[in-house]
Amino acid sequence: MSQHSIPVTILTGYLGAGKTTLLNHLLTQEHGKKIAVIVNEFGQIGIDNQLVINADEEVFEMNNGSICCAVRKDLIRTIEELMQHPLEHILIETTGLADPAPVVQTFFVDDTLKAKTHLEAVVTVVDAKHVQAHWDAKEIQEQILFANVILLNKVDLVTTEQLEQLEVKIRSLNPSAAIYHTRHSQIELDAVLGLKAFDVDRALEIDANFLSKHVHEHDKSVSSVSLAETGKIDLEALETWLHQLLHDRASDTFRVKGIFNVDDRRYLIQGVHALINGHYLDHSEPSQQNELVFIGRNLEAEELSTGFRSCFVEIQ
């Protein structure tokens, strides 16, 4: 590791676990560091990058889950571009459908990155409320297996018994990771950054082919629908439509998130299965643009588009 090697932390976790909330929590702490952020999303429209605060121009967006599918030139190119500026840390937030292995692998097979960066830790956020419904998903298994730190998040939404049972299951996959119980991904800074916790030998124990080129394929039954319209939203109509939609199709709708123009203010809605909440974004610039992303199974794009358009006061 060179004296000027830049530390990298990978934030991973399944859809809606609380990764972006954790990212914002870290960025707003008194860390005293020049941090760059790479946000990777599954859908065509980037919502999460608009929610990253306090990082200004150092936010780089990569859509369609691209960095998790192989050791990708676009990730390497993005990091090399970042390294042209004075930096003290790089945070990478992966898509919720990411197998972290190919992302981790990038820092051990590319000569430039090996010389100028070092992977400090993989931090996995686990949704204590919903993870059981997706436990058999390969992505969740890999996210837990490769974690150095696990945030068992949304602990306020489950019972003590459920939490204990979940922790036993997590420990059966990964007995060595540090586990923290969190609400809204709130965690002390030194529990996540500056750890020097990643061990390539342990990664090879998990996956003997870890340093070989291999391609991760997303679950083909999971897709995304991205919608965008310019105009003004009727908030009551939007929330009524989404609540009914998620009530009827909770099991198939893994994630919904959107940013809307409500009375010339930016309004954020996020949902995981049947749970949904929304609030105005403070200090956001007014915009007529409305963007909505669904991730799940059996999504009907035309039906979702029709429902979305019915929630407008006017479409421009």
Per-residue pLDDT reduced to its tens digit, 258-304: 899 998 899 989 888 888 889 898 777 788 899 998 988 899 999 99
Query: Which pLDDT value is given to residue 204?
Result: 83
In 146-170, which positions are buried (b, 16+ CB within 10 angstroms) versus exposed (e)? bbbbbbbbbbeebeeeeeeebbeeb
Per-residue pLDDT reduced to its tens digit, 80-136: 888 887 888 999 988 888 788 888 888 888 888 888 899 999 999 999 999 998 898
Query: Which pLDDT value is given to residue 53?
Result: 52
Beta strands in the chain (DSSP E): 6-13, 35-40, 59-62, 89-93, 117-127, 149-153, 178-182, 223-233, 253-262, 265-272, 275-280, 289-296, 312-315
Cα separation, 31 vs 34, whole angstroms? 9
pLDDT at 64 over 60: no
- The two tokens of residue 164 are 């204990």
Query: Among candidates 79, 87, 68, 98, which has minimal Cα distance to 38?
Result: 79
Query: Which pLDDT value is given to residue 108?
Result: 87
- CA dihedral angle for residue 298, residue 302, residue 307, residue 309, rounded to 10 degrees: 150
User: For 223-315, CATH number?
Assistant: 3.30.1220.10
Domain boundary assignment for the chain: 6-206, 223-315
- The two tokens of residue 50 are 């608009």
Q: What is the pTM of this model?
A: 0.76
Cα separation, 184 vs 18, whole angstroms? 7
Task: Evaluate whether 6-206 and 223-315 have a shared fold.
Answer: no
What's the half-sphere exposure (Cβ side, CA atoms, 13 Å) at 294? Answer: 24
What residues contact residue 224 under an 8 Å CB cut-off, 6+ apart? 42, 43, 44, 293, 294, 295, 299
Secondary structure of 93-149 in HEC code, one letter for each residue: ECCCCCCHHHHHHHHHHCHHHHHHEEEEEEEEEEECCCHHHHCCCHHHHHHHHCCCE
CATH of 6-206 among 3.30.360.10, 3.40.50.720, 3.30.930.10, 3.40.50.300: 3.40.50.300
Query: Which pLDDT value is given to residue 215?
Result: 53
CA angle 152, 155, 159 (to 5 degrees): 125
What three-state secondary structure class fits 33? coil
Per-residue pLDDT reduced to its tens digit, 212-264: 655 555 566 788 898 999 999 999 999 999 999 988 888 888 888 889 999 88
